[in-house]
Amino acid sequence: MIFHTFATMKLKAYQIAEIVNGEVEGNDQISIHKLSKIESGEKGSITFLGNSKYNNFLYTSESSIIIVSKALVLDQSITNTLIRVEDPNEAFALLLKYFNSNKRILSGIDKNSSISDTVKYEEDLYMGAYSVCKENSVLGKNVKIHSQVFIGENVSIGNNTIIFSGVKIYDNSIIGNDCIVHANTVIGSDGFGFNLDKNGNQIKVIHNGNVILEDNVELGASCTIDRATLGSTIIKKGVKIDNLVQVAHNVEIGDNTVIAGLVGIAGSSIIGKNCMIGGQAGISGHLKIGDRVMIQAASAVFKNIKSDSSVMGYPAINYRDYSKSYVHFKNLPSVIKSLDKIFKSEKNV
Domain boundaries, the chain: 8-103, 104-322
Phi-psi region of 222 (alpha: psi -120 to 50; beta: other; left: phi over 0): left
Indicate if the pLDDT at residue 242 is higher than 90: yes
pLDDT digits (tens, 9 = 90+) for 214-240: 999 999 999 999 999 999 999 999 999
Assign domain 8-103 to a CATH class.
alpha beta
The whole-number pLDDT of residue 346 equals 74
Q: Give the model's confidence band at 46: pLDDT under 50 very low, under 70 low, under 90 confident, else very high.
A: very high
pLDDT digits (tens, 9 = 90+) for 83-110: 999 999 999 999 988 887 766 678 899 9
The whole-number pLDDT of residue 156 equals 98
Q: Give the model's confidence band at 8: pLDDT under 50 very low, under 70 low, under 90 confident, else very high.
A: low
| Three-class HEC string of the chain | CCEEEECCCCEEHHHHHHHHCCEEECCCCCEECEECCHHHCCCCEEEECCCHHHHHHHHCCCCCEEEEECCCCCCCCCCCEEEEECCHHHHHHHHHHHHHHHHEEEEEECCCCEECCCCEECCCCEECCCCEECCCCEECCCCEECCCCEECCCCEECCCCEECCCCEECCCCEECCCCEECCCCEEEECCCCEEECCCCCEEECCCCCEEEECCCCEECCCCEEECCCCCEEEECCCCEECCCCEECCCCEECCCCEECCCCEECCCCEECCCCEECCCCEECCCCEECCCCEECCCCEECCCECCCCEEECCCCEEHHHHHHHHHHHHCHHHHHHHHHHHHHHHHCC
Percent residues over pLDDT 70 in the chain? 97
The whole-number pLDDT of residue 107 equals 87
The whole-number pLDDT of residue 349 equals 62
The whole-number pLDDT of residue 36 equals 93
**Residues paired with 163 in a beta bridge:** 145, 181
pLDDT digits (tens, 9 = 90+) for 141-170: 999 999 999 999 999 999 999 999 999 999
The verdict on whether 4 is a catalytic residue reads no
Q: Which of 33, 146, 249, 328 is catalytic?
A: 249
Indicate if the pLDDT at residue 1 is higher than 90: no
The whole-number pLDDT of residue 5 equals 41
Closest CA to 276 of 247, 236, 322, 310: 310
Parallel/antiparallel/unpaired status of strands 246-247 and 264-265: parallel
Closest CA to 213 of 244, 176, 243: 176
**pTM attached to this predicted model:** 0.84
pLDDT digits (tens, 9 = 90+) for 259-307: 999 999 999 999 999 999 999 999 999 999 999 999 999 999 999 999 9
Q: Give the model's confidence band at 338: pLDDT under 50 very low, under 70 low, under 90 confident, else very high.
A: confident
Q: How far apart are CA 31 and CA 204, in angstroms?
A: 62
Q: How far apart are CA 182 and CA 213, in angstroms?
A: 14
Q: How far apart are CA 257 and CA 157, in angstroms?
A: 21
Taking a C-beta distance cutoff of 8 angstroms, is the pair 134, 117 a contact? no
How many other β-carbons are positioned within 10 Å of the β-carbon of residue 330?
9
The whole-number pLDDT of residue 7 equals 45
The CATH classification of domain 104-322, taken from the options 2.40.40.20, 3.40.50.720, 2.160.10.10, 1.10.645.10? 2.160.10.10
How many other β-carbons are positioned within 10 Å of the β-carbon of residue 142?
20
Residue-averaged pLDDT of the chain: 93
